[in-house]
Structure 1
Amino acid sequence: MSATPALTAPRRRGNTGIALSRRAGMVFVLPALILFAVFIAYPLFTALSYSFFGWTGILRGDFVGIENYVTLFTKLPYSEDIPNAFVHNILLFFGAMVFQNTVGLGLASLLHRLSRFKRFFQTMYTLPYLVSPLVIGYLWSLMLSPLFGPVNAVLRGIGLGELAQPWLGNPQTAIWVVVLVTAWQWIGFPVLLYGAALGGIPEEIDEAASLDGASAWQRFRSITLPMLVPAIGTVSVLTFIGAMEAFPIPYALGGSQGNPAGATDVLSLLFYRTAFESGSSNAIGTSSAIATLLFIFIFGISMLITMLLRRAERKLF
């Protein structure tokens, strides 16, 4: 019986140390939680509450339930603008995904094999990612100008003048310009992420498969690609969130109206127009409903993608 205090004392000291470490961890996490609550959580709940009320300018009126949400799908111009903008957001997501998971992965694989100038090329590919998207959009709008833009000038200079056209003035090409410019700016992120993931794959596995007679494509398909699933999942989720929230580049290339003729319109631009340019007396209620629906869609699909990718990871490993 006398040995019991001696045995329990270290355990108590260990529990005390764990409690202290948890408290210390909370102290370090607390500033981030405060910033999250003030700048993200509070605006989200505020927008949600605003969407259930009618508004006259900045004066809140009576509780209207889901009337603002019904307006979005039954009254013009929202019933036409929302499907149009939503399709463009989806095109932006799939276009960026294809570009980043092919060109981005290919560049990361090439850089992974380089022994010299690797850091230089990684920095060069990452530079657009560090520049403001609004600046990137305005620079590309100048480069694609049909009057003095260097893109059309180069096409004419190399004998391909028939391909020169008003890229941002043609509804059939404008949205694809937005897709390519967005994917080009963000290509540095998957290059870095895939490069880090490739560096974490043990070389012994690839060497063993090579000795067994596996070709380079077989090694990539059966070894490298499955081990890149976590990185692919991260790129997919972040690309989806970025595509659905896209605003600066579409705004810089097509203006707040999504010109030409709504060909570059996205949901964030629709929210901006409704809140600040519509002139509607109920602009706050309607725009809050758009923001709430956009958040619910992004959050739900992001969780679904994450769940499916984790299930795929468990099957592979």
Structure 2
Amino acid sequence: MRAIRLRPVPWHLLFFLGPAVVIYTLFSAWPLLDTLRLSLYTSAGPGQRVFHGLGNFVTLLTDPHWSAAFWNALWNNTKFFLIHLLVQNPIGLLLAALISLPGLRLARTYRTLIFLPTLLSVVIIGFIWQLILSPLWGVSEGLLEAVGLGHLFSAWLGRESTALITLALISVWQFVGIPLMLLYASLIQVPDELIEAAVVEGASSWRIFWQIKFPLILPTLGLVTILTFVGNFNAFELIYAVKGALGGPNFSTDILGTFFYRTFFGYQSQVGSPTMGAAVASMMFFIILCGVMVYLYVIQRRLHRYDV
């Protein structure tokens, strides 16, 4: 019987991958595992914890004191994501299609200007838009009146019905450059031969895009969708910077990120609970994990990649 000899791992792989694995383990994998572990315990006194099993999750989902806030935050987070999915990604696709047109002048300038807000701090973005939309000293009311639309102005950030939508649109404005660049990079990879053949056959630009370019960029569009999902269910900074940890007014902008912050660290009269905070963080992880798995096993398997 012939013995099987295992090849040694090349030293250069350990040299280059080792630091990345160590950093990922220390700052990502280990904190995640410790958070999952902590969610199974409950506080039994100062500095004391006892094993509680799934009790924290049962409390979070069924106890009226916790469940109402959790389901409200989850629903707000879902709306926050859907606005990005239905507004940000189509706008990013439209801009990418326009900028990728051959012969377009100043295309690099357009890409830079659209992507520039992505590089700015979320805190700065929130502060600037608060000033713009303020009913007291903002410029938005004057701009609307200048074009005859002054009657449409309202305190959008101060009303329960419009605060979350307004914040989501601010986030769309800031991050639309990310789907733009990803989709643009995919569009310019479409072979010129296919486009030229379609033009010779008399196809219009509209038909070329939907029947040739769009099917070829579907994998990238799927990637943009799942990145939007993960990013929005991890959102926190913009809501906290503009509306605070309570997600006002009256929790209408409260999302899972701000709910976790209040639960773990405490806020105003609410006392922080590391174990319940870990349970909220674990639920966020499970929600994101389920969304990614649905994408990988239901959507990604149906997408075909073409060699172009």
TM-score normalised per structure 1? 0.88
Shift of 1:97: 1.4
Q: Which residue of 1 aligns with 2:14?
A: 26
User: CA-to-partner distance for each residue in 1:188-221, whole Å, 9 max, x for gaps?
Assistant: 1111111110110001112212222333222212
Q: Which has the higher helix share?
A: 1
Query: Which structure 1 residue ranges, 5 or more long, are not aligned?
Result: 1-11
Q: Is the 8 A contact 1:141 1:252 kept in 2?
A: no
RMSD: 2.1
Q: Which residue of 2 aligns with 1:266?
A: 255
Q: Which amino acid aligns with 1:287?
A: G
Q: Which residue of 1 aligns with 2:189?
A: 200
Q: Which residue of 1 aligns with 2:122?
A: 133
User: 1:11-160 maps to which residues of 2 (within 5 A)?
Assistant: 22-56=10-44, 59-113=47-101, 114-160=103-149
Q: Which amino acid aligns with 1:146?
A: P
Residue 169 (structure 2) pairs with residue 180 (structure 1): yes
Q: Is the 8 A contact 2:239 2:253 kept in 1?
A: yes
Shift of 1:87: 1.2
User: CA-to-partner distance for each residue in 1:212-244, whole Å, 9 max, x for gaps?
Assistant: 233322221211111011210111111000110
Q: Which amino acid aligns with 1:77?
A: H
User: CA-to-partner distance for each residue in 1:159-214, whole Å, 9 max, x for gaps?
Assistant: 32211111111111111111101111111111111111011000111221222233
Counterpart-to-counterpart distance in 2, 1:273 and 1:249: 16
Q: Which residue of 2 aligns with 1:294?
A: 284
Matching residue within 198, 214, 220 for 1:225: 214
Query: Rg: which structure is higher?
Result: 1
Q: Secondary structure at the match of 2:248?
A: coil
Q: Which amino acid aligns with 1:39?
A: F
Query: Which structure 2 residue ranges, 5 or more long, are not aligned?
Result: none
Q: Is the 8 A contact 1:57 1:284 kept in 2?
A: no
Q: Which residue of 2 aligns with 1:253?
A: 242
Question: More deviation in 140-149 or 75-84?
Answer: 75-84
Shift of 1:263: 1.1
Shift of 1:77: 3.1
Counterpart-to-counterpart distance in 2, 1:314 and 1:164: 46
Q: Which residue of 2 aligns with 1:4?
A: none
Counterpart-to-counterpart distance in 2, 1:174 and 1:83: 18
Q: Is the 8 A contact 1:111 1:195 kept in 2?
A: yes
Counterpart-to-counterpart distance in 2, 1:160 and 1:77: 43
Q: Which amino acid aligns with 1:241?
A: V
Q: Which residue of 2 aligns with 1:3?
A: none
Counterpart-to-counterpart distance in 2, 1:203 and 1:115: 16
CA gap of 1:57–1:276, structure 2 versus 1, over 3 A, is farther
Q: Is the 8 A contact 2:265 2:272 kept in 1?
A: no
Counterpart-to-counterpart distance in 1, 2:11 and 2:293: 30
Counterpart-to-counterpart distance in 2, 1:60 and 1:215: 70
Shift of 1:316: 7.1
Q: Which amino acid aligns with 2:252?
A: A
Equivalent pairs counted in the alignment come to 301
Q: Secondary structure at the match of 1:62?
A: strand
